[in-house]
Amino acid sequence: MYDRPMTSEPTANPYRVGIVGASGFTGAELLRLIAGHPLLQLELATGDSKAGEPIANLYPHLAAGYGDRCFDAFTPEATDGLDLVFCGLPHGISQSVIPDIRGRVKHIVDLGSDFRLHDPSLYPTWYGDEHSCPELLDEFVYGLPEMFRPKLEGAELIAATGCNAATAIFALAPLLEAGLIEGQRLIVDLITGVSGAGRPPKPHTTFCAVDEDVSAYALLTHRHTPEIEQALTERTGAETSVLFTPHLAPLNRGVLATCYATPARSCTTEDAMAALTDFYAAEPFMVVNERSPSTKATLGSNAVHLTARVDQRTGTVIAIASLDNLMKGASGMAVQNANLALGIPETTGLTAIGLYP
């Protein structure tokens, strides 16, 4: 059983951390979590486009935690001696930053997608460009604690999981590992909130574009597809193929994945639920129940809600998972990874309890 979250006053010698790319949504969520974390002390919060501007001007909800503190400009030297750095940068930027700060800090947790895939040949196909430092790919640990915890404990380099990928992996891995479903022709039908697209406005994420609209996007080409396949295969040993279709919905936060698979043997809903329950029995952030998961239930928390069904009529296994894309899908998971890397009790500074209404 994991230790309960610490609620005491900060230690006299907290871990000194920084955020490179603190002005985006994941950076703002990291700032919020660090402000309430008893063992992390923020020393650096860069936001080059916002450098010199008070954090609270961009994010007023952080005013009580940071007062008049401003975003910093980034230089590699600014990270010298820090215990851990979070990188919350757009894709492609971490590849140029991390080689310059590695060795200056003890641990790095990258929230971007630059180091999630082990095979460099996948980057041109799914991301459109060659990887600039492929020699580092195998040195990064994939940051999904419930799947790869032993590798994350004390790890120097961690590639935090994509929010969409994490949701699908959480739903499918227990069923694959239990031998209940085939690894081929997995279908992931996913709904995601607008904050997953980041803070900078885009034509398809403005209020007028999103309000009262649901649309599928990145048909057959979404970059989380190989990430899902890689993690499922690495965890379960099963060769997998995934058809992944995300849908943008008018939500601030939240991801809901409904996953479909072919049974590998005769099984029932009770078998599928037992597989989820057994797999996550000791996990503090996983909620398995017959209730159909909802994004609202996970809001503001590091929790994942899951359920499963077996449809005997069509011969289909259904697994459903939901999470908050900025918490368990990004910054909350990053803090969970940081806790593991630093040797802090894993749940410290995090909650499995959501906000409602």
Tell me which residues are annotated as active site: 163
Rounded distance between C-alpha atoms, residue 2 and residue 347, angstroms: 8
85 in Cβ contact with 18 (< 8 Å):
yes
Rounded distance between C-alpha atoms, residue 239 and residue 58, angstroms: 45
φ/ψ of residue 37, rounded to 5? -90, 125
What DSSP state is assigned to residue 197?
A: G
CB atoms within 10 A of CB 22: 26
The alpha-helical segments, DSSP class H, found in the chain are: 25-35, 55-58, 63-66, 94-101, 122-127, 145-152, 163-177, 207-210, 225-236, 269-279, 295-298, 332-342
Peptide bond into 38 cis (omega under 30): no
